[in-house]
């Protein structure tokens, strides 16, 4: 099953003529003011949602328990539950009466009459993180431009265990669903076309040459495409790296997407996830990508994730555009 085109996502025009890493100096617009009762309500709703999303992880951590599926969201990505529950309004928003709570926080500054309000310090953020903003903008824009591919069938996870012994497995507590020899045969009998560098770099030495592509960190903006499950999960990483210029609601939506993708990533992996339940309480079942039915199911799920991921990419790019439009 090859690549399938989807309708191009609409996104804001974020092109600038100012030096890299700097906000523009000629497009400043007036900020939007949120009344105190409005922004505190949004903040409370954000914290409640974040706490619900992280509750199981926090409880497991207290019990020193590991989870082979969900732990990835907390070990591979460096965001903590405390950081996830911290609500930001995004750039260009004045929080009425917030100077006492936020005026001295990192990435914020007092604003408004008598300095009683607070807003994101966009100029300061660009001074510190402008290079990151530029890279994320370039990567997400390029990903939206590329045609999604739905023919990889999640073989990256299989290539990560190719010819490994049981003791070498990353998730040693989980058995391989069809055994080691059969898993190796699946890798050997399929064409692997992984486009995502951060998946490819974990291929075993024996599997790496089997990939038809050689993605690198430098070529990531040229190879990243929305059909890739790991690229979809990484939207969460990029949103988090942009910190206060991304509204909290966007960050939590990106986290939920990453969580949902991670479940499918492991369901389609060679590991047997039988006995685990998903975030919705439904028992996880394998997506047997070694079979025609499994391939069709994987591609169907990929398409849904590509649409969701692109929608959030557009929102992140809109947040960057808003930040570039507010210089002070």
Check whether 28 has a pLDDT greater than 70: no
pTM assigned to the model: 0.90
pLDDT tens by residue, 139-179: 999 999 999 999 999 999 999 999 998 888 888 789 999 99
Q: What's the whole-number mean pLDDT along residues 119-130? A: 96
Check whether 104 has a pLDDT greater than 70: yes
User: What is the average pLDDT value for the chain, to the nearest integer?
Assistant: 91
| Long-range contacts from 21-25, C-beta under 8 angstroms, 24+ separation | 21/126, 21/130, 21/131, 21/133, 21/134, 22/126, 22/130, 23/122, 23/123, 23/126, 23/130, 23/323, 23/324, 23/326, 23/327, 24/324, 24/325, 24/327, 25/327
In the prediction, which pLDDT does 22 show?
A: 52
Q: How far apart are CA 177 and CA 255, in angstroms?
A: 28
Check whether 80 has a pLDDT greater than 60: yes
In sign, the C-alpha dihedral spanning 236, 241, 246, 248 is: positive
Q: What's the whole-number mean pLDDT along residues 192-213? A: 97
In the prediction, which pLDDT does 14 show?
A: 43
In the prediction, which pLDDT does 276 show?
A: 95
Q: What's the whole-number mean pLDDT along residues 227-244? A: 98
Q: How many CA atoms lie within 13 A of 141 on its CB side?
A: 16
| Long-range contacts from 65-70, C-beta under 8 angstroms, 24+ separation | 66/173, 68/171, 68/173, 68/174, 68/266, 68/271, 68/273, 68/276, 69/262, 69/263, 69/266, 69/273, 69/276, 69/284, 70/259, 70/262
Q: How far apart are CA 147 and CA 301, in angstroms?
A: 16
Name which of 1-10, 25-34, 91-100, 314-323 the model is least confident about. Answer: 1-10
Per the structure block, which two tokens stand in for 5?
């085109």
% the chain with pLDDT above 90 = 84
Q: For the chain, how many residues are written?
A: 328
In the prediction, which pLDDT does 31 show?
A: 83
In the prediction, which pLDDT does 1 show?
A: 39
In the prediction, which pLDDT does 15 show?
A: 42
DSSP category for residue 264 = H
Are 148 and 3 in contact, with CB atoms under 8 Å apart?
Answer: yes
In the prediction, which pLDDT does 12 show?
A: 54
Check whether 21 has a pLDDT greater than 60: no
Could you tell me which of 101, 99, 94 has the C-alpha nearest to residue 114? 99
Query: β-pairing, 32-34 with 108-111?
Result: unpaired
């Amino acid at each position: 099953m090859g690549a399938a085109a989807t309708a191009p996502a609409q996104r804001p025009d974020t092109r600038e003529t100012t030096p890299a890493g700097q906000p523009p100096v000629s497009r400043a617009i007036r900020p939007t003011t949120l009344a105190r009762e409005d922004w505190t309500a949004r903040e409370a709703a954000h914290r409640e949602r974040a706490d619900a999303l992280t509750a199981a992880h926090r409880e497991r951590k207290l019990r020193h328990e590991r989870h082979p599926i969900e732990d990835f969201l907390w070990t591979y990505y460096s965001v903590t539950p405390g950081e996830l529950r911290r609500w930001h309004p995004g750039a260009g928003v004045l929080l009425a009466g917030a100077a006492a709570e936020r005026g001295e926080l990192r990435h914020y500054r007092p604003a408004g009459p008598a300095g009683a309000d607070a807003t994101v310090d966009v100029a300061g953020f660009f001074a510190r993180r402008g290079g990151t903003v530029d890279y994320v903008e370039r990567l997400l824009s390029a990903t939206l431009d590329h045609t999604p591919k739905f023919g990889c069938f999640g073989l990256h996870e299989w290539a990560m265990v190719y010819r490994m012994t049981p003791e070498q497995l990353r998730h040693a507590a989980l058995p391989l669903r069809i055994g080691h020899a059969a898993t190796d045969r699946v890798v050997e009998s399929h064409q692997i076309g992984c486009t995502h560098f951060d998946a490819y770099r974990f291929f075993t030495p024996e599997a790496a040459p089997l990939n038809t592509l050689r993605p690198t960190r430098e070529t990531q903006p040229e190879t990243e495409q929305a059909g890739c499950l790991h690229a979809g999960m990484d939207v969460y990483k990029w949103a988090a790296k942009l910190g206060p210029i991304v509204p909290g609601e966007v960050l939590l939506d990106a986290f939920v997407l990453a969580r949902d993708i991670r479940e499918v990533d492991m369901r389609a992996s060679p590991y047997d996830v039988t006995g685990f339940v998903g975030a919705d309480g439904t028992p996880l079942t394998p997506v047997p990508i070694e079979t025609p039915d499994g391939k069709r199911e994987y591609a169907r799920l990929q398409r849904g994730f590509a649409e969701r991921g692109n929608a959030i990419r557009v929102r992140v790019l809109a947040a960057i555009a808003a930040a570039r439009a507010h210089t002070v």
